[in-house]
Amino acid sequence: MSVHNSSEPATVVRAATGAQCAAAIDAPASRSAAVDSVASGSAASAYEGDAAYAHKFCILGAGTSGLTVLKNFKELGIACDCLERADDLGGNWYYGQPASSIYDSIHLISSKRLTEYTDFPMPEEFPQFPSRRQAWEYIQAYARHFKLREAIEFNTAVERIEPAGDFWDVRLADGSVRRYRGVVIANGHNWDPNWPSFPGEFRGTVLHSSQYKRPDVLVGKRVLVVGAGNSGCDIAVESSRYAARTFHSLRRGYHYLPKFLHGKPIDACGERWLRWRVPLWLRRIVSKVLVRFAIGAPQQYGLPKPDHKLFETHPIINSEMLYQVGHGRIVPKPDVAELCGERVRFADGSEEPIDVIVYATGFRISFPFIDQRHLNWRDGRPELFLNVFHPERDNLFIAGLIQPDSGQWGLVDYQAQLIGRYLRALDAGRPSAERFRRRSRAVRFDLSHGIHYVKSPRHLLEVEHYSYRQTLQRFIAALR
């Protein structure tokens, strides 16, 4: 396939210091919706027909993934448009919007240094685990610092994308169709709720965790939270402060990790051991001993014993869960067996009267605007090299299709750098591009780095962050 050789010069974008980030956060936000090409051209040129788009990439979504793709494409001089259906940027972190699944009290579960973008540090005054408001401020500051807003078309929903020879046709909600050089999908994967199916009928209030925003709905109620991911544990803890009773249904036992270990964020402690190349078996032993010394074992609190080794499920990072269970404010329950009107029966035969059920049962991997056959769909997800690169198309990429065991935004920044470097190498006809293409189509990387994750839909996108980051960095260096 042909790849456009852009003649526009690359835009030089300097990395920000922590002080610059803080200054950017303090600056007032603008909601300009100008429609500009990233590398060249005026807003009016976007409406001049195919010629206005055929040299550009279309970035779908202006959330945390789409923004860093836009920033890196801008830095490399790759012409693009970024289309966002909401009226502002932020995606999942744009609280209260239909596409946002976060609740008011949420904080990051990865520390700021392992979450931030690679060249835009979070301010020193931010806590180790920023709130959703601080995360929102940081995302806004990132967009201002790198002047990304002028390249984003807000209130622009995409209905369908289809390949058209060496191009992609992008159909918008208003019926118009644009023909782009290529597409980067960055719409996120935490927006399409996965609803469980249980026999029977429930006559109370039912919510998915993506619909839960504030504890008002829980006050004075008998609440059942189903699911033991990080959202499920957070909501169960919040419920324990407001509800008359809180029950937490778990299918299996899990390992619970505190947010801090000896005053340090626990993911920063793990990062140090990975940097020292401590083998997995030894990391498991040391981590288990330290966590047991700090908070004890789950079964000491009446929770089921884990049925898997440490690190074999996505980590549950919560310093309050065991505390609330130990105080009787959260009552552990096994899996739901049947819904019985205003009661719920559990797998152990016990029943409880329930007013509100919150299903914290995760999300489906969903791309409703593109046929799955164009995504090399296998076993419930796109089968892509590094979860980014299509095996046949050099003009279709997905950014952010990962669930790392630490922070995500910096990793997606590296994904975007790699996509951009690959496109520039293709444009220039460099041998490194062909080497990368052959490698990406011949090799399937083990993104778990030897960890045998529990077989579950929850782990379809799981990656071991440290080795994944190193892999991305190596490929970026090889394409420079």
What whole-number distance in Å separates Cα of residue 421 and Cα of residue 423? 5
Contact 77, 10 (CB under 8 A): yes
Domains of the chain plus CATH, in order, are: 18-192+364-479 (3.50.50.60), 200-359 (3.50.50.60)
pLDDT at 450: 85
pLDDT at 2: 35
pLDDT at 23: 52
Strands 264-265 and 316-317: unpaired
Which H or E element spans position 423?
Answer: helix 409-428
Which H or E element spans position 475?
Answer: helix 465-479
pLDDT at 25: 55
pLDDT at 31: 34
DSSP string, 387-405: TTB-SS-TTEEESS--EES
DSSP string, 341-359: ETEEEETTS-EEE-SEEEE
Q: What backbone torsions phi and psi does residue 107 show, to the nearest 5 degrees?
A: -125, 160
Residues of the chain with pLDDT under 70: 1-50, 443
pLDDT at 129: 98
Structure tokens at 467: 């080795």
pLDDT at 77: 98
